[in-house]
Amino acid sequence: MEGMEDDPTFRFYAENAAIYAARTSASSRFRLDRFLLKLKPGAEILELGCGNGRDSALMIERGFRVTPTDGTPEMAGEAEKRLGVPVRVLRFEDIDAVDAFDGVWANACLLHVPRSDLGAILAGIHSALRSGGIFYASFKAGAAEGFDDLGRYYNYPSREWLNAVYETRHWTSIDIDETHGGAYDDRPTDWLHVTAVKG
């Protein structure tokens, strides 16, 4: 994508798409199960940052109508291999759907959005959801934005900072769950899991 070659995070996923896709093969079953239970059978779901398509595959298998997307063409290609369906290359800032989805699943992807841009991205996601729509996203917790040892940018929000950004939109509920686990870089990681319902 034009102009993105200089972005170190974009470049990491472009250059390591096959390796990354092969390594992250297990789906986020616990979080995904909880998300899907909140939706009606056959609901329409937008997945952002689908990676290798692992979560979209499970949602499709369960009968949901899924639109898988990723911001990196190389990652979208890896997902297409798994899913056998087109995967749209979609940057977060280009989300332009209105009242189109019952759910938005954004597992471990919005954590790469610059802090200064996150509010606008959440506004676009809010618009894309229908009334009562469910939105899930996860973030690596921290105190200040920065880069990891692999050169990827992270917004590293605190629970309080993230909640304040979400509250700029009208959600009927915002639930933030904190867990401790791992990540692709094999480092201990504190995670923030956010589930919000559109009013």
Pairing of strands 44-47, 101-106: parallel
Residue 86 shares a structural domain with residue 2: yes
Q: Which residues of 37-56 are buried (b: 16+ CB within 10 A; e: fewer)?
A: eebeeebbbbbbbbbbbbbb
Residue 161 shares a structural domain with residue 74: no
Give the whole-angstrom CA distance, residue 90 versus residue 171: 24
Q: Is residue 23 part of a domain?
A: yes
Give the domain-ending residue among 65, 92, 119.
92
Q: Is residue 25 part of a domain?
A: yes
Q: What pLDDT is attached to residue 7? A: 87
Give tens-digit pLDDT for 113-143.
Answer: 999 999 999 999 999 999 999 999 999 999 9
Q: Is residue 133 part of a domain?
A: no
Give the whole-angstrom CA distance, residue 80 versus residue 72: 12
- What domain range is 6 assigned to? 1-92
Task: Report how many domains make up the chain.
Answer: 2
Give the domain-ending residue among 71, 92, 113.
92
Q: Is residue 199 part of a domain?
A: yes
Give the domain-ending residue among 92, 108, 124.
92
User: Do you know the residue count of the chain?
Assistant: 199
**pLDDT above 80 for 112:** yes
Q: Which residue has the tokens 């900072």?
A: 161
Residue 80 shares a structural domain with residue 161: no
Residue 79 shares a structural domain with residue 160: no
Q: Is residue 134 part of a domain?
A: no
**pLDDT above 90 for 144:** yes
Q: Is residue 102 part of a domain?
A: no
Give me the residues paired with residue 147 across strands.
153
What CATH number is attached to the domain comprising 78? 3.40.50.150
Give the whole-angstrom CA distance, residue 21 versus residue 15: 12
Give tens-digit pLDDT for 81-111.
Answer: 999 999 999 999 999 999 999 999 999 999 9
Q: How many CB atoms lie within 10 A of CB 151?
A: 10
Q: How many CB atoms lie within 10 A of CB 184?
A: 15
